[in-house]
Amino acid sequence: MSDAAASTPSTHQPKPPLTLAELASFPVTSIKSVGPKRAKALAKVDITSVLDLLTHYPRRYIDRTRQAAIADLAVGEEGMILAEVDRVSSRRIRGNRTMVTATLVDATGRISLTFFNQPWRERQLVVGTQAVVYGKVDTYQGGKQMSNPVVDMVGDQTGKIVPVYPQSEKSGVSTGELGRWNTSALAKCAPRGFSDPVPVEILDRWNLLSREHAFNNIHNPETMDDAVMARDRLVFDELLRVQLELVQRKLHIERTSAGIEHLLEGTLVGEFHRQLPFELTAAQHRAIDEIERDLQSPKPMHRLLQGDVGSGKTLVAVSALLVAVQGQHQGAFMAPTEVLAEQHYLGVTELLKDFSVTDESTIFGDRPLRVELLTNRVSGSDRTKVLADLASGQVDIVIGTHALIQEKVDFKSLGVVVIDEQHRFGVEQRAALRDKNTSGLVPDVLVMTATPIPRTAAMTVYGDLDVSILDELPPGRTPIVTSWAKGPLDDALVWDQIRTEVAAGRQAYVVCPLIEISDKLEVRSAEETYDELSSGELRDLRLGLLHGRVTPAEKEATMSAFRAGDVDVLVATTVIEVGVDVPNATVMVIIDADRFGIAQLHQLRGRVGRGQHKSYCHLLADEVSNDGDERLSALVRTTDGFELAEVDLELRGEGTIMGERQKGQNDLKLASLRSDREWVERARGVAFELVDPQADLADYPELADELRLFLGETESDFLLKG
């Protein structure tokens, strides 16, 4: 970016303010002192343009007016200090791992830092240099210590508020250089200023700075309040772009798809609710009401039903399917695996075994409601008959895998589709559904998940879906007691409890992370564990083995034996995470539990507690990281999946969650789905204001340009298709 590009020539018409697209077109070498060598280093952290540089925001700030000293750090709490590296050393420890230790000093004292498996820290922490350190303070041998803290090398920066930028070992670029380059970029942009595509009334409504002030204050704040206000504006911009894209998608689907206006006057749904041996929860009633409002609408439903393990999602799904059936349409229930499809088939068939539907072609004017299973195991004449009866309308509800809409399966009138554990359901699948109906009408879609998602994450990742939440468990659901076994003595008690439960006629699971022994990961394999337990702690019990490499026939034989009670303990990998329902199983043991994520641990735990007996989940892990400790402690503390989802978001950050749908420039660099909940909701509301239901962003071309810049065609397709 030459000075002429940014400034206004006196003999010509003044140039308009700079757009983000223009900033993206200026190479980073436009900035003074960024030569080819430094540009190459910046490219390693994806900074190639002036826009990349300006949106490489400070990670934190050092407020030198309120700077903490080492002596002020409170043990047990998190703190941040600026101190000098006094000494650093490295040594090998057990498992061929590296431990780096360093000592930092300031005028008030000293603190030791310990880093595990981060050998590069020894090169980073040069004796005599200044570092900002942030972490939890512990004590070791009478002195203060931090383990694996966040470290930023800051050099000799001055000023009251010093920005600290994210740094990378591979780039070798310091926070001081980033600060100077950003200051230089802002100075070059100053003559033209920054264009601001967000309407002034929206900025005023939420007390937001102009984009120009935001960019200046995020990089060079005079006070911490300046930095906070700048962040609010830039967070809003990030979230607004995502929501504008999702809202456009949602409105596009609604205006280009014609749905089925279901009638709610039939008797099947009411009869189904009356014959249940228990009352539906208030959350189930609320979700059913939301779904039925959608079903009455001429717009196709596209709703996410999320509820914890055991919250009664299946009953809500069956209720939706029955709305279709009582209106002379058909329902399809799609599961991610054949095992789960078969399980749903057994459950739904039992629920609806005494129901009838109107059929004028019969003598009595009705016939039994018909539920069929369609998976790869249904073959020959059975398959031919099911396909023919689906096409003629004789099958009311079909249950199968995703192949239901991909294979040559024809429906007479497909009205409602329920999809279990398949979060993203995009344009290609909708087109396939539309092709199933000769009328061209799009069936209503209900997507279910037992993996609770924090509300703001759901609004951001699945913002093109409406969301219903089951946030209470039905009465009678057996609570699961969770414990953490931290060594051989605790382990022995776990195996003892399994023997006790089996002696009482019950069963157990033992879950391992890997199928085979791995030199890279110090985890026990399913096969190794099966052999050890068969000849050791559980040698008198009947053990089964299940993992992803057994054949479908072997898998089914093992599962059938376990369901029938012919196997006492099932040793398995995470293939049992979804879709295994054995009410007699009361103990879940998860080996090397710290290797699993919170959501997966919670799903695995949900395999027990399904019957009338008290159930237990034991997490086996001895040496764990700080994050591992937080995860396992959370599992012990609560069985609430939504609370665990918030903990998971807190620990992993939104990068992992957003990674399901974000691949490029549009990462949330500043916005946090956990701390910026209110901005997520505000951005969504503004997106609905700005997007014209018939013309998208026709009135806001610069915002539309920014979506193309940050999301691009590939990203937009990814959002749409899932």
State pLDDT tens for residues 184-197. 999 999 999 999 99
Positions of E strands within 73-218: 78-93, 97-106, 109-116, 130-136, 138-140, 143-147, 150-153, 161-164
pLDDT band at 663 (very low <50, low <70, confident <90, very high): very low
Tell me the CB-side half-sphere exposure of residue 625, using CA atoms within 13 A: 13
CA 92, CA 94: separation in Å to the nearest integer?
7
Structural domain count of the chain: 3
One domain, residues 639 and 543: yes
Is 60 exceeded by the pLDDT of residue 658? no
Average pLDDT across the chain, whole number: 86
DSSP 259: B
| Residue 41 maps to a domain | no
**Same structural domain, 328 and 464:** yes
In our burial notation (b when 16+ CB lie closer than 10 A, e otherwise), range 117-144 reads ebeebbebbeeeebbbbbbbbeeeeeeb
For residues 461 and 496, state if they share a domain: no
pLDDT for 427-486, tens place per residue? 566 667 767 877 778 899 998 887 777 766 777 766 667 889 888 877 767 779 999 999
Specify if 214 maps to a domain: no
**120 bridge partner residues:** none
3-class SS of residue 602: helix
Which residues fall within 8 angstroms of residue 199, CB to CB, at 6 or more apart?
A: 690
Q: Which of 604, 628, 655 marks a domain boundary?
A: 655
- Report residue 177: phi and psi, to 5°: -65, -45
Nearest partner of 80 among 139, 150, 144, 143, judged by Cα: 150
Q: What is the pLDDT of residue 453?
A: 74
Phi, psi of 213 (to 5 degrees): -65, -35
Looking at residues 694-720, what average pLDDT do you find? Answer: 77
Average pLDDT over residues 83-107: 91
Assess whether 445 and 499 both reside in one domain.
no
Give CA–CA dist 64/34, Å, rounded: 28
Predicted pLDDT at 466: 84
* SS3 state of residue 34: coil
The CATH number of whichever domain residue 589 belongs to comes to 3.40.50.300
Quickly tell me which residue has 């993206």 as its tokens: 24
pLDDT tens digit string along 193-247? Answer: 999 999 999 999 999 999 999 999 999 999 999 999 999 999 999 999 989 988 8
Measured CA to CA, the distance from residue 357 to residue 490 in angstroms comes to: 56
Collapsing DSSP states into helix, strand and coil, what is residue 134?
A: strand
State the DSSP H helix or E strand holding residue 295, giving kind and residue range, or none if neither.
helix 282-296
Q: Please indicate, yes or no, whether residues 554 and 448 belong to a single structural domain of this protein.
A: no
98 located within any domain: yes
- For the chain, give the percent of residues with pLDDT over 70: 88
- Return d(Cα 152, Cα 38) in angstroms, integer: 19
Range of the domain at 106: 65-158
DSSP assignment letter at 385: H
DSSP run (H or E) holding 484: strand 480-485
Residue 541: C-alpha distances to residues 459, 574, 582 (Å): 48, 22, 18
Residues 421 and 523 in one domain: no
- Tell me the CA distances in angstroms from 24 to 292, 544, 705, 710, one per residue in order: 47, 58, 12, 10
Res. 669: pLDDT tops 90: no
- pLDDT given for residue 667 in this prediction: 56
* pLDDT band for position 371 (cuts 50, 70, 90): very high
What is d(CA 562, CA 438) in angstroms, rounded to the nearest whole number? Answer: 44
In a domain, 716, yes or no: no
Closest CA to 270 of 332, 347, 327, 323: 323
- Tens of pLDDT, residue by residue over 557-567, are 888 899 999 99
Where would I find the H helices in 352-487? 380-392, 403-406, 427-436, 455-461
User: Among 470, 503, 534, where does a domain finish?
Assistant: 470
Q: Among 596, 604, 607, which Cα is nearest to 648's?
A: 596
pLDDT at 657: 42
Q: What is the mean pLDDT of residues 17-28?
A: 96
The label of the residue with tokens 């310091």 reads: 174
Q: Has residue 258 got a pLDDT over 50?
A: yes
Q: Which of 339 and 469 is assigned the larger pLDDT?
A: 469
Read off the pLDDT of each residue in 42-71 and give the average, rounded to a whole number.
88
Closest CA to 516 of 506, 502, 527: 527
- Residue 138 is part of a domain; what is its CATH number? 2.40.50.140
- How far apart, in whole angstroms, are the C-alpha atoms of residue 698 and residue 253? 17
| pLDDT surpasses 50 at 66 | yes
Are 195 and 702 within 8 A, CB to CB? yes
Q: Do 112 and 144 touch, CB atoms closer than 8 A?
A: yes
Mean pLDDT of 116-129: 89
Spatial contact of 549 and 558, defined as CB atoms under 8 Å apart: no
* Confidence (pLDDT) at 365: 79
Checking if the pLDDT of 16 tops 90, the result is: yes
Report residue 719's pLDDT band, with 50, 70 and 90 as the boundaries.
very low
pLDDT, residue 664, reads 36
If asked whether residues 435 and 564 sit together in one domain, one would say no
Tell me: do 642 and 504 sit in the same domain: yes
Query: Does residue 450 sit in the same domain as residue 484?
Result: no
Dihedrals phi, psi of 563, to nearest 5 degrees: -60, -40
548-596 residue pLDDT tens: 788 878 888 888 899 999 999 999 987 775 556 788 999 999 999 998 8
The amino acid sitting at 290 is: E
Residue 172: predicted pLDDT: 80
Within 13 Å and on the Cβ side, how many CA atoms surround 156? 1
Helices (H) and strands (E) in the chain, counts: 27, 24
Is there a contact between 404 and 398 (Cβ–Cβ < 8 Å)? Answer: yes
Q: Would residue 323 count as lying in a domain? A: yes
Q: Write down the pLDDT at residue 31.
A: 93
Closest CA to 680 of 463, 425, 452: 463
pLDDT for the residue 427: 55
Q: What is the pTM of this model?
A: 0.69
- Burial category of 486 from C-beta neighbours within 10 Å (exposed 0-12, middle 13-18, buried 19 and up): middle
Following CA atoms 182, 187, 189, 190 in sequence, which dihedral angle do they give, to the nearest 10 degrees?
140
pLDDT for position 516? 62
- Identify whether 258 is part of a domain: no
Taking only the tens place, the pLDDT of each residue in 165-183 is 887 767 788 888 899 999 9
Residue 20, domain member (yes or no): no
- Mapping DSSP onto H, E and C, the string for 48-111 reads CEHHHHHCCCCCEEEECCCCCCHHHCCCCCEEEEEEEEEEEEEEEEHHHEEEEEEEEEECCEEE
**Lookup: tokens for 30:** 């436009």
pLDDT computed for residue 156 by the predictor: 60
Place of tokens 């041998």: 141
pLDDT band at 661 (very low <50, low <70, confident <90, very high): very low
H helix or E strand, kind and range, residue 448: strand 444-449
Calpha distance 685→703 (Å, rounded): 16
Task: Please tell me which residue, 661 or 16, carries the higher pLDDT value.
Answer: 16
pLDDT one-digit tens code per residue, 482-531: 999 998 899 999 999 999 999 999 999 999 987 666 655 555 688 889 99
| Tokens (6 digits) for 85 | 């590296």
What is the Cα–Cα distance from 382 to 288, expressed in whole angstroms? 34
pLDDT on residue 547: 83
Name residue 554's amino acid.
E
Q: In sequence order, what are the residues at sequence separation of 6 or more whose Cβ sits closer than 8 angstroms to the Cβ of residue 542? A: 566, 567, 568, 569
Kind of pairing, strands 356-358 and 366-368? antiparallel
Q: How many CB atoms lie within 10 A of CB 659?
A: 12
Whether 335 and 274 map to the same domain: the answer is yes
Cβ neighbours of 110 (radius 10 Å):
16
pLDDT of residue 666: 41
Residue 397 and residue 533 share a domain: no
Distance of alpha carbon 183 from the chain centroid: 36
Rounded CA-CA distance 42/60 in Å is: 20
Give the mean model confidence (pLDDT) for residues 320-336. Answer: 94
Distance between start and end Cα atoms, the chain? 37
Residue 456 shares a structural domain with residue 487? no
Q: Is residue 196 part of a domain?
A: no
Q: Determine whether 195 is exposed, middle or buried from the number of CB atoms within 10 Å of its CB (0-12, 13-18, 19+).
A: middle
d(CA 647, CA 638): 11
Residue type, 627: D
What's the confidence (pLDDT) of residue 405?
78
Q: Do 355 and 368 form a contact (C-beta atoms < 8 A)?
A: yes
Residue 403 neighbours by CB distance under 10 Å: 14
- Which residue among 601, 631, 655 closes a domain? 655
- Measured CA to CA, the distance from residue 59 to residue 63 in angstroms comes to 13
